[in-house]
Amino acid sequence: MLKNYLEAVASLSGAQKLFLLAAVVAMAIVVTASNILVEMPINDWLTWGALSYPVAFLVTDITNRTLGVRVARYVVVVGFIAAVIMSLLIADSRIAIASGSAFLVAQLLDVTIFDRLRRQSWWKAPVISSVIASFVDTVIFFSLAFAGTGLPWQTWAMGDYATKLVMVVVLILPFRGLIRITDPLTLAPLAR
């Protein structure tokens, strides 16, 4: 698996490697910030992390569309490692572990679903993959992070997922715009 990732990265041009670096850094920042923000409730239904975390799906989907499935998986794995390390240093360890588990499963699921749907209408792959992967992420994260704590994690999970669904709709237009900007970087022109 590591060999496949390294081969995919080695085949990238300079501009594509810069895009890849930006994606990995963005992923680590989004996940780390979300792990801090999830500990800050807005109300009984929502935490601030629900507003920031969906951007991770945007990063994955843009990378998948622009540079291909192998590079998207690379971004997930490297972003996962960086985010877990940063989160263990900054956030509560239970949050960091729950986040890492949910992130890895959900993001890899998102990449797989997106890749299978990539040849359909431009919006179907990011919408369907994000809706399904967000559900999986929410279930894994909130049950591992907050079960047994006495906090209203079930309502936070419902509010979190509802917010993720809204964010899928909100982020679809930036996705389309960013795809147009990154088009010259693509490794898979038939993917559109």
Tell me what pLDDT residue 185 has.
Answer: 56
Lowest mean pLDDT among 17-26, 61-70, 146-155, 171-180: 171-180
Token code pair at residue 159: 């509010």
Whether 173 has a pLDDT exceeding 60, the answer reads: yes
Whether 189 has a pLDDT exceeding 60, the answer reads: no
Give ∠ CA 143-163-91 in degrees, rounded to 5.
50
More confident: 84 or 138 = 138
Pairwise CA distance, residues 96 & 74, whole Å: 20
Whether 76 has a pLDDT exceeding 80, the answer reads: yes
Q: Where are the domains of the chain?
A: 2-180
Structure letter (DSSP) for residue 185 = G
Tell me what pLDDT residue 138 has.
Answer: 94
DSSP string, 36-72: HHTTSEEETTEETHHHHTHHHHHHHHHHHHHH-HHHH
Q: Model-level pTM?
A: 0.84
Token code pair at residue 7: 């081969």
The CATH architecture annotation of domain 2-180 reads: Orthogonal Bundle (1.10)
Look at the block and give the residue holding tokens 């992420």.
137
More confident: 122 or 154 = 154
Whether 5 has a pLDDT exceeding 60, the answer reads: yes
